[in-house]
Amino acid sequence: MHPILPTSPGFSFTFLFIDIIFGLIGLTLILVFHGSALNHIVMRFERLTKANLEKKQHNWIFLHFYVAFIFFALIHISEIFIWSGIIIWLNLIPDAAQAILFAGSCYTTVGFVSDILPAGWKSMAFFIAFTGLFSLAWTTSVMIGMTALYKEAWNLKYAHRKF
């Protein structure tokens, strides 16, 4: 176990309190990271696509759109790694591969990995899942907003066509 944490394997309110504190710290860390990274990508996308619209460079808008999606995926993968790092730092799952799989399973809420956290730390999975739900929903809403610019570029590029 981690040197600053209690080592009793049974349930206690102390474990629950510490679990909640670390869960809230992880949730806050991830959401601040997510919001900052997302905002950076969206602002870059909007700045570049507006300039491309003015120059009628529609294909560049399509490229920026798909590159932004790749960066969104990388943000989510990074967040899984951050959760894995927290889990490893707390020595809850010492094996890095298992920690990554567990964090990814919880973050995506797919649940393909069984709960392998030690007793007293079971609610950590909830915080990881909660973070994933918020982050994925946030990304989805941003992507919907970006689709309007993509659609505008598409319509301008193919305005002369009769479908």
71 in a domain, yes or no? yes
Task: Give the residue among 27, 23, 22, 25 at the shortest CA–CA distance from 4.
Answer: 22
Residue 119: pLDDT over 90: no
- Domain membership flag for residue 5: no
- Of the candidates 2, 31, 14, 4, the one whose C-alpha atom is nearest the C-alpha of residue 128 is 31
- How much of the chain, in percent, has pLDDT values that exceed 70? 91
Average pLDDT over residues 28-57: 93
Note whether residue 22 is domain-resident: no
pLDDT at residue 7, as a whole number: 52
Domain membership of residue 1 (yes or no) is: no
Q: Which of these, 144, 114, 69, lies nearest to 77 by C-alpha position?
A: 69
Question: Considering its fold, how many domains does the chain have in total?
Answer: 1
58 token code pair: 């529609």
Residue 92 placed within a domain: yes
Mean pLDDT of 50-79: 93
Using left for φ > 0, alpha for ψ between -120 and 50, and beta otherwise, residue 23 falls in alpha
Lowest-confidence pick of 10-14, 23-27, 68-72, 105-109: 10-14
Largest Cα separation within the chain, whole Å, is: 72
**Cβ neighbours of residue 156 closer than 8 Å, sequence gap 6 or more:** 53, 56, 58
At residue 161 the predicted structure's pLDDT band, cuts being 50, 70 and 90, is: confident
Range 43-51 contact pairs with CB under 8 angstroms and sequence separation of 24 or more: 44/68, 45/146, 45/149, 46/149, 49/149, 49/153
Residue-level pLDDT at 1: 47
pLDDT band at 91 (very low <50, low <70, confident <90, very high): very high
Residue type for 43, please? M
Q: Name the H helices within the chain.
A: 13-54, 58-89, 96-107, 124-157
Within-domain flag for 80:
yes
What does the pLDDT average to over 40-46?
94
Using one digit for the tens of pLDDT, what is the confidence trace for 125-135? 999 999 999 99
Per-residue pLDDT averaged across 10-39, rounded? 88
Per DSSP, the three-state class of 112 is coil
**Is 65 inside a domain boundary?**
yes
Q: Which domain holds residue 77?
A: 32-112+120-157
Q: Is residue 12 part of a domain?
A: no
